[in-house]
Structure 1
C-alpha cells in the first residue's frame, strides 16, 4: 500500500513541477519587464524585479524535488521524534517518507499559486491570489503535527 501512495505522490509532484515549468515558459514572453518578486502578508507586492525572476520558483521546485527524492531514498539519515529500532523502523520510515512527499506537494501547490498570482498581478494590479498564501501555513503545520503524533503512536 505504501509504495502505491508514494508512487501517486511522486507522479503528482512531478506533474506539478511540469505544470509550473510549462506555465512559466508559456507566459514568459508576454510578461512585462518588471514583475512582482515579493508580496507582503496582505498579498500586495512590496518588491519588483526583472522578468527573469519568473524562473525562480520553477528552479526551486526542481531543486526541492531532487532533494526530497534523495532524502526519501535514505530515510535512516533523517531526524526522528522517536528512537528508531528494528521493530519500528519500517513504520517510522513510512511516516517520514509520506510526510516528505506530502510537504513537497503542498510547497509545489504554494509555488504554483504564487506564480499564478505574480503573472496575473503583472498584467492587472487589481487581481487577487486564487488561494490566499497564508492558507498553506496551517496545512503544513497540521501535516507536520500529524506525522509527529503518528510517530509517537507507532513507536
Structure 2
C-alpha cells in the first residue's frame, strides 16, 4: 500500500459557508423540537416507508434519536474531512495532489451537510406529522434525496477523473 503524503489543505470558503448554514438550520430545528416537545402526542412517527408514509409509530422520546445521530454524523464526518490523504483515489499524482485533496475534502463536506440537512428535515417533518399538520414525507422525498446524494457523488467523481 502506497502511503500518500499528508499536506495541509485549508477548508474552502464554500465549505465554511455550508457548515455554518447547516449548523444554524440544524440548531433551529433542535430548538423547534425542544419548544414543541411538551405538546407532542405520546405516539410520534418512528419510521416511514418508501412512499414517505408512516409505517411505524413510537414513543415521543424517540424524537431525540435523529438529533443525536445527526450530531454524531456531523462530528465524525468533520473528523474524516481533515484527513484527505487517507482516502482512495483513482488518478492521484504529484502534480494534482493538492487539487485532488481539495476535491475530496469538499465532497465529504457537501455529503456531510446534505446528510445533516436531511436529518433536520426529518426532525421538522416528524413534528409536523405528529401534530397532524402533515401526513408523511411525501412521495417525492426518497427520489429527491437519492438524486441529491448520488448526484453530488457523481459530480465529485467526475471532477476527480478530470484532474
TM-score, L = length of structure 2: 0.84
Whether the 8 Å CA contact 1:38–1:46 is kept in 2: the answer is: yes
Q: Distance in 2 between matches of 1:100 and 1:16?
A: 19
The runs of 5 or more residues in structure 1 that have no matched partner are none
2:105 maps to which of 97, 111, 131:
97
Other-structure match for 1:108: 116
Other-structure match for 1:69: 78
Q: Distance in 1 between matches of 2:21 and 2:31?
A: 15
Q: Distance in 1 between matches of 2:108 and 2:69?
A: 16
Whether the 8 Å CA contact 2:15–2:106 is kept in 1: the answer is: yes
Q: Distance in 2 between matches of 1:19 and 1:58?
A: 11
1:8 aligned onto 2:20:
no
Q: Distance in 1 between matches of 2:140 and 2:14?
A: 28
The runs of 5 or more residues in structure 2 that have no matched partner are 1-9
Whether the 8 Å CA contact 2:47–2:54 is kept in 1: the answer is: yes
Other-structure match for 2:157: 148
1:129 maps to which of 137, 141, 144:
137
Q: Which has the higher contact order (CA 8 A, sep 6+)?
A: 2
Whether the 8 Å CA contact 1:113–1:129 is kept in 2: the answer is: no
Cα deviation, 1:78-116, whole Å, max 9, x if unaligned, reads: 223x14232212111111111111112221222122222
Q: Distance in 1 between matches of 2:24 and 2:155?
A: 25
Q: Distance in 1 between matches of 2:139 and 2:15?
A: 26
